[in-house]
Amino acid sequence: MSSSQYKIEQLPWLPRLSNDFNEKISCLAQEKNNIQAMAIQDLAIQFLGLNQMNKLAKLLNSFKKTDFDMSPLVEFKLGIVSNATVDFIKPCLEASALRYGIALEVITTDFGQLMQEALNPESKINQARPDAILISIDYKGLPFSIDGQKSSLGYSHVRAIDFISQVIEGFNINCGSPCILQTIPTPKEVLFGSMDYVLQGALRHETTCFNRTLVTNEQIIKGNYIFDVDWLASSIGLQNWNDDAQWFHAKLAFAQHCLPVYADFAARIIGAIRGKTKKCLVLDLDNTLWGGVIGDDGINNIVIGQGNSVGEAYLGIQTMAKKLRDRGVILAVCSKNEESTALEPFRNHPGMILREEDIAVFKANWKDKASNLEEIAQELNIGLDSLVLLDDNPYERAQVRDALPMVAVPEVGDNPVHFPVLLSMAGYFESVSFTEEDKLRADQYQANVQRSKLSAQTKNIDDFLSSLEMKMSIRPFDTIGRKRITQLINKTNQFNLTTKRYTEKEVAEFEDSNDYLSLQIGLKDKFGDNGMISVLIAHKGKDVLFIDTWLMSCRVLKRGVEEAICNYLVDYAKQNNFSVIRGQYIPSERNGIVKDLYQKLGFELNEKKDKDDIQTWDLTIEEFQSFNSPIEIKQ
């Protein structure tokens, strides 16, 4: 990548294509019964042209036809409806989704069939019941039609909004799937020049109004997702995004060379829906957060701050990191340095934006970075696949990619001016929702590190848990917590007994149903508020309370939370005349840590055989002995 320029459609943050790509594809095709899905994913973590995407998608689909174990990839079924040809998009989406840990299956239909597919219960999309439906449409597929009462210029966004609303409603009713809704790129043609943006009825004005309504109308966006294609096209440039010849010849909605970037941006939304968003930004120091080498140059000679173009560039990197922390991304440091020397700018340099208290884990030593990254993940109790390393040194980037391919390492070139924008465009921290609780996430993980240090200093676990002064809040589902509940249900994989996934609409249905007990559970202690840490959904039978979903954040493991929740459930069962609490364990590739949970809580294995290794466990209420819990429960 040039130090002075880059092109977003070439995904410059990704490593360039390796010379042995075709060789690796051939080897994997021959050995597909003996390899791990991670090997396929590794091939996707580089810039792929259309030919490479087609080869990788073909390989992936050949695996799906066998008994090949796709873990740790998460399966996702996506429907696409469009006013344009989508045949070229399908393999690009499937290959790009691998970068985000998704084994994607794409269901397509003929172009121009949006309303037919949405309103017909027997349509291909509705019958497939996908996890989400991408409505890939531009202004040419929407009825921005002549409406003399609205404008003499001939266009109106109102009818276009009504059209898209009917499509969304049709899919919601007929298959219950959420929709991924595209903003539409501004047309490149103008009638009045800049006045097209102002005049009611001008196409540019109406498409702008359409986008604004799409993202602000609560009835439209409720339970659905936004894909900002208007921003993407503008970032690339409308003249580069549009290709009239390809539209007239093959009905392509945008230029073919933009397929890789379109697919990547769509795939990252799917990854975010499945909880694949990264959690932690790990920062190198010398020539990444400041110019120069602190150990050689000293605090007075490193370059950072106002009044110097290079110093201001590094200031931009720190500003981006600080903004990410403010929205809940954890910050860590991984640097080859003496710790006391590396900490000095954070403590004493007036030009620094980041301070020591912003950093959850600070690793400055002479060990290799891969080892330090493993320790950072362990101390934060998150997976290595939750880390992003920002490092100016190409050798360090290559070493980490080779040793830990699950860690995201963006290519940032040699010009610090580009670091912030490349980091943001890479989409590692893509979100499909944002709650007040998300803002607290970095503080929560930082407090967790403090708890771990206290635990290491305390010999007796009971004394440690009592010293935390934990208070648990339990309340039914409500509109305030709905987005966070949906977020937890769709991203929690380890402490999740059934790994069932529910949309925001389905969560709202549990919220309103008298047939279900729905609980959102929070936890506070003397170090801070952990926020919502557990979700439980239970069906109320005749005399059996059946646990449909029980999941918990791994941040609060081994604190007695599950025992306290069990005590609460038994009290609820007694008060509502249930004689048995029944739960299931449905094994997945990642939830092995809860395999014995019900047994530890005093449940007995139901001898009745279940299919697919599903275990059913029963707890008889009258035989239950309450756990001695250090947690105070507030309802």
Amino acid at 199: L
Res. 601 pLDDT band, cuts 50 70 90: very high
Q: In sequence order, which ranges of 98-202 are alpha helices (DSSP H)?
A: 114-119, 124-128, 157-174
Res 609: pLDDT: 59
The predicted structure's pLDDT at residue 613: 80
CATH value at residue 40: 3.40.50.1110
Q: How many CA atoms lie within 13 A of 619 on its CB side?
A: 26
Higher pLDDT, 521 or 611: 521
Q: Would you say residue 445 lies in a domain?
A: no
Q: Quick one: pLDDT band at residue 4, thresholds 50, 70, 90?
A: very low
Percent of the chain as helix, strand, coil, to the nearest 5: 45, 15, 35
Q: Are the beta carbons of 181 and 226 closer than 8 angstroms?
A: yes
Looking at 273, 297, 323, the residue that finishes a domain is: 273
Which stretch of DSSP H or E encloses residue 616?
Answer: strand 615-620
Using a pLDDT cut of 90, give the percent of the chain over it.
69
The residue among 389 and 147 whose pLDDT is bigger is: 389
The separation between the first and the last C-alpha atoms of the chain, rounded to the nearest angstrom, is 56
**Site of tokens 């001008």:** 202
The answer for residues whose C-beta is within 8 angstroms of residue 179's C-beta and 6 or more apart is 132, 133, 134, 135, 167, 168, 171, 172, 224, 225
Q: What is the pLDDT of residues 508-547, one digit of tens each?
A: 999 999 999 999 999 998 888 888 999 999 999 999 999 9
Same domain, 152 and 247: yes
**Do 205 and 80 share a domain, yes or no?**
yes
376: containing domain: 280-425
Do 265 and 284 share a domain, yes or no?
no
Q: Does 404 reside within a domain?
A: yes
* pLDDT value for 460: 77
For residue 118, being part of any structural domain is answered with: yes
Calpha distance 227→431 (Å, rounded): 11
Q: Is residue 615 part of a domain?
A: yes
Token readout for 142 is: 């929407």
Going by C-alpha positions, the residue among 378, 423, 590 that lies closest to residue 491 is 590
* 249, 300: one domain: no
Q: What are phi and psi of 415, to 5 degrees?
A: -115, 110
Pair (309, 383) in one structural domain:
yes
Average pLDDT, integer, range 282-311: 92
CB 423 within 8 A of CB 390: yes
Where b means 16+ CB within 10 Å and e means fewer, 207-228 reads bbbbbebbeeeeebeebbbbbb
| Structural domain total, the chain | 3
pLDDT above 60 for 85: yes
In a domain, 375, yes or no: yes
- Residue 534 has a pLDDT of 96
Residue 494 has pLDDT above 80, yes or no: yes
Q: Is the pLDDT at 452 greater than 90, yes or no?
A: no
Sequence-ordered list of residues with C-beta below 8 angstroms from that of 462, at least 6 positions apart, any chain: 630
Residues 230 and 349 in one domain: no
Q: 444-447 contacts: CB < 8 A, separation 24 or more?
A: 444/528, 444/529, 444/530, 444/531, 444/555, 445/279, 445/280, 445/330, 445/360, 445/380, 445/382, 445/555, 446/330, 446/360, 447/527, 447/528, 447/530
CA dist list (Å): 172 to 104, 168, 598: 21, 6, 36
Integer CA distances (angstroms), 76 to 47, 169, 170, 587, in order:
22, 22, 21, 18
Residue 2's pLDDT is 45
Is residue 96 a contact partner of residue 53, using CB atoms and an 8 Å limit? yes
Domain-embedded: residue 452: no
Among 497, 537, 534, residue whose Cα is nearest residue 517 = 537
HSE, CB side, 13 Å, CA atoms: give it for residue 293: 6
Where residue 135 falls among pLDDT bands split at 50, 70, 90?
very high
Question: How would residue 66 be classed by pLDDT, with cut points 50, 70 and 90?
Answer: confident
Domain at 359, CATH number: 3.40.50.1000
Fill in the DSSP letter of residue 290. Answer: B
Q: Per-residue pLDDT averaged across 409-432, rounded? A: 93
Residues 182 and 289 in one domain: no
More confident site: 360 or 146: 360
Is 547 strand, coil or helix?
strand
Indicate if 269 and 289 belong to the same structural domain.
no
Integer Cα distance of 296 and 47 in angstroms: 37
Bond preceding residue 394 cis, omega within 30 of 0: no
On the question of pLDDT at 1 being above 50, the answer is no
**What pLDDT is recorded for position 530?**
87
For 18-47, what is each residue's pLDDT tens digit?
999 999 998 888 875 556 677 888 999 999
pLDDT at 103: 93
Same domain, 20 and 168: yes
Would you say residue 294 lies in a domain?
yes
pLDDT of residue 543: 94
Q: Read off the tokens for 500.
A: 């069932």
- Tokens for 45, please give them: 């973590």
Who has greater pLDDT, 464 or 127? 127
Domain's final residue, options 217, 249, 273: 273
**Phi and psi (nearest 5°) for 330?**
-75, 140
Sheet holding 516-525, edge to edge: 604-605, 615-620, 580-585, 544-552, 528-540, 516-525, 471-476, 632-634
Write down which residue in 273, 295, 324 finishes a domain.
Answer: 273
| Token code pair at residue 231 | 């921003």
Q: Give residue 152's pLDDT band: very low, low, confident or very high (50, 70, 90).
A: low
297 with 326, same domain: the answer is yes
Assess whether 208 and 73 both reside in one domain: yes
CA distance 282 to 364: 12
pLDDT of residue 346: 97
Q: What's the number of CA atoms in the CB half-sphere (13 Å) around residue 371? A: 6
What residues contact 586, with CB distance under 8 A and at least 6 apart?
497, 498, 499, 500, 612, 614
In total, the chain counts a number of residues equal to 635
pLDDT in tens, 94-116: 999 999 999 999 999 988 889 99
Question: Is 599 inside a domain boundary?
Answer: yes
Q: Please state, in angstroms and rounded to a whole number, the distance separating the CA atoms of residues 424 and 403.
A: 24
Same domain assignment for residues 252 and 400: no
Q: What are the φ/ψ torsions at residue 153 (nearest 5 degrees)?
A: -80, -20
- pLDDT tens for each residue of 204-215: 999 999 999 999
